[in-house]
A and B are shown apart, each in its own frame.
Chain A
């Protein structure tokens, strides 16, 4: 359980596994951090919380990763050591209810001045997979670099 960075011609892909939906989201977010930096300082930075809602499970993963990238730019911190506290389906999955799925998470924000990091521009839907398996969950996400 965890993540691997996978080859992609122009960009970077993260393949992640987890024994729960929370764990696979968390591993994918840590993959995003690893795609941004090879050398994440172990102690630096304060933790912050975030909440994301979306209409579908895959959209929730997309928006969670997108929110981490947004927060990186506006907080000037690289989100690392991601923890997904809970993912809840608040109603029937629907393409119109933007709050059908919700997520509570936190991350340690390493100030960008304290880490050798490069810019991951965005999360993409290209080749995205989020699937349950016999052992839990698997995700595959391509990031635009």
Chain B
């Protein structure tokens, strides 16, 4: 048997790109890592493998805890982690969703070509930066009271539609049509609502961004056509989440669970994995609050997208409808969802809380939960890369239901710490190099953020996507390259 020794943890090769950490001690199931050896080398010395092992201690974890090809060290659960926990006899863990509930990405198509944008990049990036709130304390597109926040929490993008920030077609191209059932604003704390009310329609900072991109490659013509993608086309990618409202919601429930479910917590190797037993009041309350925060994040990205349409209208002097600026898809990558999966050797159907933290749902063609617009070809999966590298559009692969509970990667995955990045890069240099060498125009609130998000701090997104494609969990459809990027 081929093995890989990584700083005290031995992985056994199951087949190409599938590695297993065998069950031992208090692990309830084995852990799996989906990676090439090149990707494994990048995580062998940090805590990624220890964290995916820790995840297997959660009650009700089913089949395997799985680390995606872009996985890296996080807190509690690794980033790139997928854990399916039995929704009847298992548990739900806020830390395994992450603080930024429904952090995710959406891509909007246009009918513009790169030729039409060339020469207008500075005007476009300046206008986007001036009109899309970003950074800390930058406010939001909508300044609202708590009543409005509660409506958003309950109704998601339907609220945006009613208030002129969306069109019907936007809802049809968003996961769950932009509204989670079972969202309960009353389960979200006042503190969370107070944080959220000034941040509705804002990017935030860190790795969140809005990027105008050009499609450089379409690998699968048939699926590309179904997604409305063609070479040289301009698209817009938006990456952000539920802002302070989501962060506070995770924080609140982590503390409540710690206080009320000490017995379960004592079985876990990391307090950050604190979990509420399925069926308990706190499990129900957290699920309802998380669903509400999911709705908030969808509205956040919707408002930013709609504002982007208005910016394009001013810069290109024609209506957004004429530019065919329609949502391709919006997909979450920090989320837990009740889903029914076929599990175990007997092929039993079971309802599970599928936790995806830094992982993207990737349902294949024919799955009933894929929106009807894409059901024949499979769910779009959007994989943002770094500022200097391409991003990818994939489609849910045929093997995703068997291998990963219908999931794949969510990005390039970080390689270098933020502190090291600031030592190695200076924001101004990064910005200048991107503009002079690659014609990528970047505008940020903070030079430090540019340094921390420099292309060199990320893994090779091409390798991450190659492994996803080879495993058949997310198949390559198209590649895009940045034109303009704004960030906090």
Give the contacts of A68-93 with B (CB-CB under 8 A): 69-70, 72-74, 76, 78
B interface, how many residues as a size bin? 35 or more
Cβ distance B353 to chain A, nearest Cβ, rounded Å: 20
Structural contact, A59 and B255, CB atoms closer than 8 A:
yes
A10 adjacent to B79 (CB under 8 Å) = yes
Within 8 A of A (CB), among B93-119: 95, 98-100
Contact size class for A? 35 or more
Residues from chain B with a CB closer than 8 A to the CB of A12 are 417-419
Cβ contact within 8 Å between A119 and B204: yes
Answer whether residue B254 sits at the interface, using C-beta atoms and an 8 A cutoff.
Answer: yes
In the complex, which of the residues A8, A119, A123, A127 has the most CB atoms of chain B within 10 Å of its own CB atom? A119
Bound complex: CA A76 to CA B199 (Å): 11
A74 contacts B100, CB within 8 Å? no
Do residues A118 and B255 form an inter-chain contact, with CB atoms below 8 A? no
CB within 8 Å of A: which B249-266 residues? 250-251, 254-255, 258-259, 262
Given contacts A95-B259, A119-B488, contact A38 B206 (CB under 8 A): no
Shortest B327–chain A CB gap in Å is: 26
Interchain CB contact under 8 A, B195 and A9:
no
B366 at the interface (CB under 8 A from A): no
User: Do the beta carbons of A118 and B417 come within 8 Å of each other?
Assistant: no
How does the 8 Å CB contact mask read for A110-138 relative to B, with 1 for contact and 0 for none?
01110011110111111110000000000
B72 at the interface (CB under 8 A from A): yes
B76 in the interface (beta carbon within 8 A): yes
Quick check: is B137 within 8 A (CB to CB) of the other chain? yes
* Distance of A62 Cα from B251 Cα, bound (Å): 10
Query: Which residues of B391-420 have CB atoms within 8 Å of chain A's CB atoms?
Result: 414-420
Partner of A118, one of B136, B198, B420: B136
- Contact assessment for A66 and B79 in the assembled complex, using a CB-CB cutoff below 8 Å: no
Contact A116 B251 (CB under 8 A): no
Q: Is the CB of B136 within 8 A of A122?
A: no
**A124 neighbours in B (Cβ, 8 Å):** 75-76, 95, 99, 272
Identity of the chain B residue whose Cβ is nearest the Cβ of A7 in the assembled complex: B417
For A7, what are the chain B residues with a Cβ–Cβ distance below 8 Å? 417, 419-420
Residues of B within 8 A of A78 (CB): 136
One digit per residue, 1 when the CB lies within 8 angstroms of any chain A CB and 0 when it does not, for chain B 261-280 equals: 01000000011101000000
Selected from A10, A76, A118, the residue in CB contact (under 8 A) with B448 is: A118
- Which of A7, A66, A118 has the most chain B CB atoms inside 10 A of its CB? A118
| A50 contacts partner chain B, Cβ-Cβ < 8 Å | no
In the complex, the answer to whether A125 meets B272 with C-beta atoms within 8 Å is yes
Q: From A62, which residue of chain B is reached at the shortest CB distance?
A: B255
Chain B residues positioned under 8 Å from A63 (CB to CB):
255
Is there an interface contact between B255 and A74, defined as CB atoms closer than 8 Å? no
Report which of A62, A118, A123 forms a contact with B449, defined as CB distance below 8 A. Answer: A118
Query: CB distance B448 to A116 under 8 Å?
Result: yes
Q: By the criterion CB–CB under 8 Å, are A98 and B259 in contact?
A: yes
When distances are taken between beta carbons in the complex, the residues of chain B under 8 Å from A5 are: 419
Assuming the contacts A38-B448, A96-B259, A121-B206, asked whether A10 and B244 have C-beta atoms less than 8 A apart, the reply is: no
CB distance from B461 to the nearest CB of A (A): 16
> Does any Cβ of B come within 8 Å of A1's Cβ?
no
Residues B262 and A95 in contact, CB atoms below 8 Å apart: yes
CA distance A7 to B418 in the complex (A): 7
Q: A9-B46, A12-B419, A113-B137 in contact; A144/B99 too (CB < 8 A)? A: yes
User: Are A9 and B417 in contact, with the CB atoms below 8 A?
Assistant: yes
B100 touches A121 (CB 8 A): yes
Q: Which residue of A lies closest to B76 (CB)?
A: A126
A12–B176 Cα distance when bound, in Å, is: 33
List the A side residues contacting B244 at CB < 8 Å: 70, 73
A144 to B72, CA, bound (A): 14
Q: Max chain B CB contacts within 10 Å: which of A9, A59, A96, A121?
A: A9
Answer whether residue A11 sits at the interface, using C-beta atoms and an 8 A cutoff: yes
Tell me, yes or no, whether B485 is within 8 Å of chain A by CB: no
Q: Are A11 and B74 in contact (CB under 8 A)?
A: yes
Chain B residues with CB below 8 A from A113, complex form: 137
- B225-252 vs A, Cβ < 8 Å mask (1 yes, 0 no): 0000000000000000000100110110
Q: Please give, as numbers and ranges, the residues of chain B lying within 8 Å of A119 by CB-CB distance.
A: 135-136, 204-206, 488
User: For A10, A11, A69, A113, which residue has the most chain B Cβ atoms within 10 angstroms?
Assistant: A10
Nearest residue, chain A, Cβ from B270:
A126
Instruction: Decide: A36 near B419, CB < 8 A? Known: A117-B446, A119-B488.
Output: no
A11 partner, pick from B75, B194, B271, beta carbons under 8 A: B75
Please measure, in the bound complex, the distance between the C-alpha atom of A55 and the C-alpha atom of B265, giving whole angstroms: 15
Contact A9 B72, CB 8 Å, known A117-B136, A122-B250: yes
20 additional contacts (CB under 8 A) given A70-B191, A70-B195, A74-B195: A5-B419, A9-B46, A9-B48, A10-B72, A11-B74, A12-B419, A38-B422, A55-B259, A63-B255, A70-B248, A73-B195, A95-B259, A95-B262, A118-B206, A119-B205, A121-B247, A123-B251, A125-B95, A125-B274, A144-B247
A-B contact pairs, 19 of them (CB 8 A): A9-B414, A9-B417, A10-B79, A12-B418, A38-B422, A55-B259, A70-B248, A73-B194, A95-B262, A116-B448, A117-B137, A123-B251, A125-B76, A126-B74, A127-B47, A128-B271, A144-B98, A144-B247, A145-B418
Q: What are the nearest 10 A-B pairs in CB distance?
A: A112-B137, A126-B75, A7-B417, A125-B271, A124-B75, A122-B99, A126-B272, A118-B205, A9-B73, A119-B205
Residues of A within 8 A of B (CB): 5-12, 36, 38, 55, 59, 62-63, 66, 69-70, 72-74, 76, 78, 95-96, 98, 111-113, 116-119, 121-128, 142, 144-145
